[in-house]
A and B are shown apart, each in its own frame.
Chain A
């Protein structure tokens, strides 16, 4: 009975008893969710346009942030380093298209996935060689990112919001909005959607696949840079940030591989779900359940909808 009460009653009493804290928990989940969604967004962009499940998105994030901080450490002004980091991502996108994607065109999914894993190892080695393995502090002041704390009164108590988290949320929303407009309104965006629909049909109407791929990988690189800046500012810029990319997998699977809104909603579901689960139920199991809770949530949804929340319905024919 006690056990049942501790599962089904107590957590809700705790939630009702301290609504400020509940809001705080949901906010923290929201922020993690937004940041997971940003990583997932990079995956979705690439998957949509080139059918590649880009495992290297995590390391691209680290690489972009490292390039930014590394260049700033070498004496570049912060904004100069930002521009240079964008340049690095462009070079990377061109390089990947030339050396990896072009020769591997039309290969099965798993081979392309494997190629990006190879790319991951390459980038890890290159990044450590060029920028060193030491963790670096994100140049928040140089970029004008606020790092203070805001206290908002709520239900007689205080909600503690990190300015960096607010910034992350705003940037993520702007980014998604920009991408949505880009896809819907520009010529390149239309070409991108055409390629996503059907490679060959797109080719036949004169869309250059190579150029589209470069653009998509570059866009994913920019998303990676932004994500890297945000995660780097929350903790520090080091190679272990790469594991964050794994957290994007359940988000992606939940939202569907091809859906931008799916990535956002998936991120929020996972982010908030795992925080609320950990805080209100985690103690029953000794804590630390976050590491697998996200996958369990995703699994639950998948059993209900095997193609993810926003994925295209899978129609199987013999």
Chain B
């Protein structure tokens, strides 16, 4: 009813090519941003902010990063966790070396370092393809993890072997470190994630994005049509690792507060991969949905029984949780293998023709 594009005429190519060609979508996205920026802070308490919203947003960014590589450029990667780690360690080193520069600058810069590392490990992608490529990214994952443990310089030779979020502020308000209020951290994370999503969205809807998709669909064909594979693939690795790196830096500075090398282990890589696949390969919206689903569901399942007053042993909750999430992953794949984003697209299509679907 409300969702109808009747009467919206496109008079320019620009309008026709817009990311959101339908007015209702544009209003919708603005409304969602408004809810996230105003509504959530009004009703959410600290637990919701620190355990659902902040990590959810950070994972969204990491998932977008991986989606660029896997969903848009078709290169499978199991090294996201390590690339996030590179970003985190880079941000930590930079923030400690130049304390006078604002931390946000370093968080945004940290991704550049993981992008460089990503490019190095992306080089074999020219020769190795498909599932076989997973081995290079796994090599990256385990090698970098080993570096985090071994290279004392990365942690400034701290005896704890971990990195901590240093205390930094923005305009007099602490934004990182233990004093930073969850709400402040939430706003910073929200702004960064929305900003980077917007940049990425423009990237994937433009020439570069189309090049990536050509490479994904058939790289030899793309090459024959004049796409230079090496720059295209490496750019995908660079952008993907950049976003993962920024997400990793944000993970330590705005969420965990301190991290051991094991925080960037292979399980983190898988966590992000889940989000991308459940959300939908090759869809930015999917990354948002996937991150929300994979991150929030276990948290909700974990604390929901306690909230409604059911007493279950914490271990049993965890077992059930694991089983339910596993079963739901399979269920969703069966219902819609192309992810939540596709599910949404189908719903939207139905909505468009409702109430007269014929």
Contacts and interface: CB of A to CB of B under 8 A. Distances in A.
A and B touch in the complex (CB under 8 A): yes
Interface residues on B, range: 35 or more
Interface string A288-318: 1101100110110011001110000010101
B165 interface: no
B132 interface: yes
Given A118-B330, A121-B326, A123-B326, A295 B139 contact: yes
Nearest to A47: B131
Contact of A133 (B142, B315, B330): B315
20 contacts: A99-B330, A110-B277, A114-B274, A117-B329, A118-B326, A122-B323, A125-B320, A129-B323, A133-B315, A288-B149, A292-B139, A292-B145, A295-B136, A295-B143, A299-B135, A303-B124, A306-B128, A316-B220, A318-B221, A318-B224
Nearest to B335: A103
A144 interface: no
Q: Which of B136, B143, B326, B328 has the most C-beta atoms of chain A within 10 angstroms of its own C-beta?
A: B326
Nearest to B132: A253
Contacts of B320: 125, 129
Question: Lowest 3 CB-CB distances: which A-B pairs, in order?
Answer: A125-B322, A122-B326, A118-B329
Interface of B: 76, 124, 127-132, 134-136, 138-139, 142-143, 145-146, 149-150, 218, 220-221, 224, 266, 270, 274, 277-278, 281, 315-316, 318-330, 333-334, 337
Contact of A295 (B135, B218, B221, B270): B135
A298 B325 CA distance: 33
Interface in A105-136: 107-111, 114-115, 117-126, 128-129, 133
A117 B132 contact: no
Given A107-B337, A296-B143, A246 B322 contact: no
Contacts of A143: none
Nearest to A308: B132
B334 A103 contact: yes
Contacts of B330: 99-100, 115, 118-119, 122
A285 B147 CA distance: 10
B323 A104 contact: no
B315 A299 contact: no
Contacts of A115: 329-330, 333
Contact of A118 (B76, B136, B315, B327): B327
A306 B270 CA distance: 24
A75 interface: no
Nearest to B334: A103
